[in-house]
Structure 1
């Protein structure tokens, strides 16, 4: 008998293989279950829909930006902690780059999954904002937390998009470049 986590991973990986081979629309939940050597009811215990096989994939770590932020030293200045958390997040994405590329290629062929990708980012935004909120005290801190949340998500999304186009550069390096541009622009404004 397989471990629960291993079963969920096997099912999701099998689904992605079948989506790539046969196409999303041509792949049924029954075919996924049979290929993964589980019953359809077992598949449904882990994933209610085909979309969830993509965006709720066990290799994706929900709240990854928030987790990266919370791992930072509490004495680190808030802006630096958020920037470093974004770079840590991008470094993790680089480590899983082949999987993420496959996943994104599948998601891009499925309109409903593409739409749910925004929901994924909204959950990341909410989780990161709550994590940053654990270090805010004043109204000014709260406003800064809102700005930093948006800044981190923008850097992450832009770096991942650019890294998808430029296979030679890491998302983390692109994120560091974007942070440099942002910091330079802020200095010019000030």
Structure 2
């Protein structure tokens, strides 16, 4: 199968250039102090071009989470034979922690820490991230529903999905807060793993009774 065409590759390069430029400016000057016009000028594109790639200013940051959109749903869909969805999600999260994956908040790279600081502490960006998380809930609920063959009006998959996605977000923010306080990822990793174990145990004891 052939790879993406020249036009698509050019679009992706432009998209990354705009996002990287914006994040660089945000990290130096703060999210609220940087205008879209300044970003467009620094990235050498017009404002209409910028908005074709990123409908809102907040999307310039949230774009960094795009590769993880629907990840929880994919984990459930690809789980091992006989493995419960919550067990698969727990295993996957522990693996991400061991890799110090930025999505878990357990990454002490200075730029990643600053980036998470922007995301978690800027109200409009946090609100946009909540919308992003809502799409993850939809995708995970659909995967859970398909996995057990429930009907579309069965509320259980959505209840489980909402609590899993919320738990992962809370864990990530707690991990970031510890690192922002001066600790290293290696120092925090044991506690982060214990916190994840506690969270998923609570989920199993609670929503696990719903059959997942």
TM (norm. structure 2) is: 0.69
Q: Aligned runs of 1:10-29 on 2, under 5 Å?
A: 10-29=17-36
Aligned match for 1:111, one of 109, 120, 123: 123
Aligned match for 1:132, one of 121, 130, 144: 144
Q: How far apart are the structure 2 equivalents of 1:58 and 1:6?
A: 17
Aligned match for 1:65, one of 72, 89, 93: 72
Aligned-residue offset at 1:60 = 4.8
| Inter-CA distance 108–75: structure 2 relative to 1 (3 Å threshold) | closer
Q: Aligned runs of 1:66-81 on 2, under 5 Å?
A: 66-81=73-88
The answer on whether the counterparts of 2:58 and 2:124 sit within 8 Å (CA) in structure 1 is: yes
Aligned-residue offset at 1:172 = 6.0
The answer on whether the counterparts of 1:19 and 1:27 sit within 8 Å (CA) in structure 2 is: yes
Structure 1 residue 176 corresponds to structure 2 residue 188? no
The answer on whether the counterparts of 2:142 and 2:157 sit within 8 Å (CA) in structure 1 is: no
Aligned-residue offset at 1:18 = 0.6
The answer on whether the counterparts of 2:106 and 2:176 sit within 8 Å (CA) in structure 1 is: no
| Inter-CA distance 175–55: structure 2 relative to 1 (3 Å threshold) | same
Let me know the Cα RMSD of the aligned residues: 3.3
Aligned-residue offset at 1:11 = 1.0
Structure 1 unmatched ranges of 5 or more: none
Structure 2 unmatched ranges of 5 or more: 1-5, 180-186
TM (norm. structure 1) is: 0.75
Aligned-residue offset at 1:122 = 1.4
Structure 1 outlier segments of 4+, above 6 Å? none
